[in-house]
């Protein structure tokens, strides 16, 4: 992937927009997304479970992660391993996701109608020109840089596990009837292990967080084309419509985040956030 020449470290202005759609087939929307530009946290979740339990699980996950970054606890006892080899920012993402898993698991145990509910999650935490990512399940995070798209996450799905082991080709996986089978999710177990990674922003980078209702029905080149627009709101609309045109039979959610270098006025007056209003959507 293209990397621009060295540039001084800076706090980027973050712009964000998101949209979720019930899609062409489903009777309810089990996806949820939320973001808070001021606190640099962005989340997309895809719920699963009967009797609307999936949308409950995904909302719990979004709310828990956002609340963790808005109101950091002084100490958060969490079941599960500690996180090593990543930044404190990424470790905090991991802890927030473990808390979300606990909350979903406990809620399901207390309500027979919610038994077995769960959710995927992808989340991004931004600090200055650095960002960390986390994922559980088959929702995805993409980076678009200089019109080139790269997937930053690895699906926790049965078919992609087989691809990684050399038991199935990527083309076979894309046409498999087992695409919806995921091997890791929030909720089913009392602990969960998210994938964590640290990255660095370059000017005008765009992150795309999405549920599989988008990624499974829109090819990479089309994702890059639709996501890389001046208006992020229009880009979200176009991505949703592209998924529908591709025959998506699932709920469709996308969340775009762009990192823009501050202008000289921003640097002088300290305006380092283009949006300061927190946003949560269901």
Note the pLDDT of residue 272.
41
Q: Which residues of 262-278 are buried (b: 16+ CB within 10 A; e: fewer)?
A: beeebeeeeeebeeeee
Asked if residue 226 is part of any domain, the answer here is yes
Q: Which residues of 122-132 are buried (b: 16+ CB within 10 A; e: fewer)?
A: bbbbbeebbbb
Asked if residue 5 is part of any domain, the answer here is no
Number of compact structural domains in the chain: 1
Nearest to 31 by CA among 192, 278, 248: 248
Q: What is the 3-state secondary structure (H, E, C) of 125-177?
A: EEECCEEEEEEECCCEEEEEECCEEEECCCCCEHHHHHHHCCCCCHHHHHCCC
Asked if residue 1 is part of any domain, the answer here is no
CATH of residue 91's domain is 3.60.40.10
100 vs 241: CA distance, rounded Å: 31
Asked if residue 4 is part of any domain, the answer here is no
> pLDDT digit of tens for each residue in the chain (282 aa)?
555 555 556 689 999 999 999 999 988 999 999 999 999 999 999 999 866 799 999 999 999 999 999 998 876 555 555 788 999 999 999 999 999 999 999 999 998 878 889 999 999 999 999 999 999 999 999 999 998 999 999 999 776 666 666 666 666 666 656 667 788 999 999 999 999 999 999 999 999 999 999 999 999 999 999 999 999 999 999 999 999 999 999 999 999 999 998 875 555 555 443 333 344 544
Note the pLDDT of residue 277.
35
Asked if residue 200 is part of any domain, the answer here is yes
- What residues make up the domain containing 35? 13-276
Backbone angles phi, psi at 262, to 5 degrees: -70, 145
Q: Which residues of 53-62 are buried (b: 16+ CB within 10 A; e: fewer)?
A: bbbbbbbbbb
* DSSP run (H or E) holding 18: strand 13-21
Asked if residue 158 is part of any domain, the answer here is yes
Note the pLDDT of residue 234.
98
Helix, strand, coil percentages for the chain (3-state, nearest 5): 30, 25, 40
Backbone angles phi, psi at 154, to 5 degrees: -115, 130
* DSSP run (H or E) holding 269: helix 264-269
Asked if residue 18 is part of any domain, the answer here is yes
Backbone angles phi, psi at 93, to 5 degrees: -60, -45
Asked if residue 170 is part of any domain, the answer here is yes
């Amino acid at each position: 992937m293209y990397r621009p020449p060295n540039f001084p470290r800076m706090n980027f202005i973050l712009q964000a927009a998101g949209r979720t759609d019930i899609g062409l087939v489903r009777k309810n929307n089990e996806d949820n997304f939320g973001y808070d530009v001021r606190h640099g946290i962005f989340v997309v979740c895809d719920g699963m479970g009967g009797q609307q339990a999936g949308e409950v699980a995904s909302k719990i996950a979004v709310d828990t992660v956002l609340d963790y970054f808005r109101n950091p606890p002084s100490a958060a006892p969490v079941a599960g391993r500690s996180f090593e080899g990543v930044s404190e920012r990424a470790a905090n993402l991991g802890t927030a996701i473990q808390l979300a898993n606990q909350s979903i698991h406990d809620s399901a145990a207390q309500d027979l109608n919610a038994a077995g509910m769960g959710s995927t999650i992808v989340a991004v935490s931004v600090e200055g020109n650095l960002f960390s990512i986390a994922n559980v399940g088959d929702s995805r995070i993409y980076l678009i840089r200089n019109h080139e798209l790269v997937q930053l996450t690895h699906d926790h799905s049965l078919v992609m596990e087989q691809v990684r082991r050399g038991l199935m080709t990527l083309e076979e996986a894309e046409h498999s009837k087992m695409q919806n089978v995921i091997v890791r999710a929030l909720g089913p177990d009392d602990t969960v292990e998210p994938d964590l990674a640290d990255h660095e922003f370059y000017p005008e980078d765009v992150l795309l967080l999405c549920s599989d209702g988008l990624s499974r029905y829109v090819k990479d080149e089309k994702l890059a084309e639709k996501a890389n627009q001046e208006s992020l709101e229009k880009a979200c609309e176009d991505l949703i419509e592209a998924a529908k045109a591709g025959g998506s039979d699932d709920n469709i959610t996308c969340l775009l985040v762009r990192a823009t270098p501050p202008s000289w006025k921003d640097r002088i007056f300290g305006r380092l956030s283009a949006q300061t209003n927190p946003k949560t959507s269901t």
